C-alpha cells in the first residue's frame, strides 16, 4: 500500500498569511494526487485534483504543485473560511489512501 504523509499535522496562522502544506507519498504516484478541505461536521470537499488542477468553484487562492512523491497545497492569503482540516489523497493505486490531515487553526 502507498502511505501518504502530511506535514505539519497542525498549524496556526493569521488571516492574510500564506500557508503551505506538504504531502509525501511512499512511492511515486505521478500526479494522481488530490486535496480536500473538511470543516467540522461536514463532508470533505474537493479542492485540487491531479496535483495542480483547481476544482470548479474553488477560490484561486488555493493552488497545488508537485509530482512523483512530493506535493504541496498553498493558500496564498488565508481567509476566515479557510480554517479547516486539509487532506491529501492518492488515486494512483488501490487502496486510495489519504494523508493524516493538517488542521489549520487561527493564531
Partner 1 sequence: EVQLVESGGGLVQPGGSLRLSCAASGFTFSNYNMNWVRQAPGKGLEWVSYISSSSSTIYYADSVKGRFTISRDNAKNSLYLQMNSLRDEDTAVYYCAREDRSGWYISFDYWGQGTLVTVSS
Contacting positions for partner 1 (CB under 8 A): 31-32, 34, 36, 38, 42-46, 49-50, 53, 55, 87, 89, 91, 94-101
**Which CB atom, from 17 or from 52, has the smaller least distance to partner 1?**
52
Q: Residue 21's beta-bridge partner residues?
A: 73
Answer whether 12's CB lies under 8 Å from 105's CB.
yes
Query: Between 33 and 75, whose beta carbon lies closer to partner 1?
Result: 33
What is the Cα–Cα distance from 83 to 103, expressed in whole angstroms?
A: 8
Alpha-carbon 87 to chain mean position: 5
- Give the nearest distance from C-beta 19 to partner 1 in angstroms: 19
The minimum distance between CB 16 and partner 1, in angstroms, equals: 28
Q: How far apart are CA 62 and CA 73, in angstroms?
A: 7
Rounded to a whole number of angstroms, the minimum distance from the CB of residue 41 to partner 1 is: 9
Q: Locate cell 479547516: which residue?
A: 84
Residue closer to partner 1 by CB (options 16, 41) is 41
Amino acid at each position: 500500500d502507498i502511505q501518504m504523509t502530511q506535514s505539519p499535522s497542525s498549524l496556526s496562522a493569521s488571516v492574510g498569511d500564506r500557508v503551505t502544506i506538504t504531502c509525501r507519498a511512499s512511492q511515486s504516484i505521478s500526479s494522481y494526487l488530490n486535496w480536500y478541505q473538511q470543516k467540522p461536521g461536514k463532508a470533505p470537499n474537493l479542492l485540487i485534483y491531479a496535483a495542480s488542477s483547481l476544482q470548479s468553484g474553488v477560490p484561486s487562492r488555493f493552488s497545488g504543485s508537485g509530482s512523483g512523491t512530493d506535493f504541496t497545497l498553498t493558500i496564498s492569503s488565508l481567509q476566515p473560511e479557510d480554517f479547516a482540516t486539509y487532506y491529501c489523497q492518492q488515486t494512483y493505486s488501490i487502496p486510495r489512501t489519504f494523508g493524516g490531515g493538517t488542521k489549520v487553526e487561527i493564531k
